[in-house]
Amino acid sequence: MSLARQEIAQQPDVIARLLERERPALRAVAAELRRRRPRYAVVAARGSSDNAARYAQHVLGRMLQLPVLLATPSLHTLYHAPPRFVDAIVIGISQSGASPDVVGVVAEGAWQGAMTVAITNDPTSPLAAAAAHVVDLGAGEERSVAATKTYTASLAAIAALAAEGDGALSDDLARLPAAIAAQLALTGAAEAAVEAAADWERLTVVGRGAHYATAFEAALKLRELAGIVSEAYSPADLLHGPIATIGPAQPLLAIAPAGPTEGSMRELVATARERGASVAAIGHDAALGDPFLELVDVPEWLGPAVAIVPAQLLAVGLSERRGIDVDAPFGLSKITMTR
């Protein structure tokens, strides 16, 4: 079994440990949030962590009513013109905690007196040293190049920040490891989807709401592991021009679970089919796509931590089918020292 498959299988245990072990750290962040009442959040991240930041935009905005901005690290590292972080919480997300540009944003936030949080898999990293609060993902070494367990652990950490102090949300979150384990048990569907998607070379991935992040992470996994030229959009962004590429040679992967976004996703699927595109789907209604990857039921706000699992398995399966080294795809490295 590849390292990637092993690490995908570890995700329920990783998240269960995180939610138990990091409870004091999460409570400390929540206490300072209540005391300082920041007006907005700025999140610095790269790669898969940037997709976790997209989830933070949704869930922190939805649950805490915090406007969430994605940082522009080049303002800090290349232009030396950092923005003002007045009344902000600055969050850095990085599995390695080593990317200088992510560290630079958090360090600047600390220098300006903003509240700072590091979410990282290395509590001794430069990112952790730069922040006042550290949430340790505790995922263990992730040896496969593609981020899997550190990505879902990052989602769980963000969800825990949003849920802290709310009993109902915390109860939802406590059931997440079991839900991911149940999703992993549906491996047969992923194997069938690999065969159906064997000829994919180009792909458009679409998601909305909480699953906007899922679309970006699924597209990234399919691109970096299987070599598929995949791009992610929201339905609105796709309809504002890029829909022109959808057709017989450009299939669509719809992240379309039941919930508030399902109606607009159905409309987009119908439009794609009218243009002659084949449609695959991850969701609850098999009529939405062929191949179809079924999701277990979870509260919609936690859906991204579950919905990414079939996408991970699809990407790994396609990589293996194409003879690509799934644990070390050509030209990729585990830590990218971006500035």
Task: Sketch the domain layout of the chain as residue ranges.
Answer: 3-174, 185-321
pLDDT at residue 328, as a whole number: 84
Q: Taking 60 as the threshold, does the pLDDT of residue 334 lie above it?
A: no
- How far, in Å, CA of 76 to CA of 213, rounded? 25
Split at pLDDT 50, 70, 90, the class of 102 is very high
Among candidate residues 258, 237, 225, the one with its CA nearest the CA of residue 325? 225
Judge whether 259 and 209 are in contact, CB under 8 Å: yes
**What pLDDT score was predicted for residue 145?**
87
What does the pLDDT look like over 197-254, one tens digit per residue?
Answer: 999 999 999 999 999 999 999 999 999 999 999 999 999 999 999 999 999 999 999 9
Please give the model's pTM, rounded to 2 decimal places. 0.96
- Cβ neighbors of 23 (< 8 A, separation 6 or more) are none
Question: In which band, very low, low, confident or very high, does the pLDDT at 337 lie, cut at 50, 70 and 90?
Answer: low
- Alpha helices in the chain, H assignment, sequence order: 3-9, 11-21, 23-36, 48-64, 74-77, 100-111, 126-130, 149-163, 167-174, 176-184, 187-196, 212-226, 235-239, 262-274, 303-321
C-alpha torsion sign, points 55, 159, 10, 171: negative
Mean pLDDT of 134-163: 96
E strand or H helix at 94 = strand 88-94
Instruction: Report the alpha-carbon distance of residue 120 to residue 134 in Å, rounded.
Output: 8
What contacts 87, CB < 8 A, 6 or more positions away?
36, 38, 39, 40, 114
Count the Cβ atoms, other than its own, within 10 Å of residue 299.
18
Look at residue 242 in the predicted model and tell me its pLDDT. 93
Q: What percent of the chain is modeled with pLDDT above 90?
A: 93
Q: How far apart are CA 252 and CA 180, in angstroms?
A: 25
Q: Which residues pair with 311 in a beta bridge?
A: none
pLDDT at 123 over 90: yes
Residue 188 has pLDDT above 80, yes or no: no
Q: What is the mean pLDDT of residues 105-118?
A: 98
- pLDDT over threshold 80, residue 25: yes
Residue 306 near residue 155 (C-beta atoms within 8 A):
no
What residues form DSSP beta bridges with 206?
233, 254
Q: What's the confidence (pLDDT) of residue 1?
A: 85
Domain 185-321 architecture: 3-Layer(aba) Sandwich (3.40)
Q: Quote the CA–CA distance of 130 and 121 in Å, as a whole number.
A: 15
- Tell which phi-psi region holds residue 275, choosing left (phi > 0), alpha (psi between -120 and 50) or beta: alpha
- Which whole number is the average pLDDT over 275-280? 96
**Pair 40, 88: CB distance under 8 Å:** yes
Q: In CATH, what number does 3-174 get?
A: 3.40.50.10490
Q: Do domains 3-174 and 185-321 have the same CATH topology?
A: yes
**DSSP string over 222-253:** HHHHH--EEEEE-HHHHHTTGGGG-BTTB-EE
Largest CA distance in the chain: 55
Q: Which of 1-15, 164-178, 303-317, 321-335 has the lowest mean pLDDT?
A: 321-335
What's the pLDDT tens digit per position in 159-187? 999 999 999 999 999 999 999 999 999 87
Q: Which amino acid, 117?
A: V
Beta bridge partners of 255: 282
Residues 299-307 have a mean pLDDT of: 98
Mean residue pLDDT of the chain comes to 95
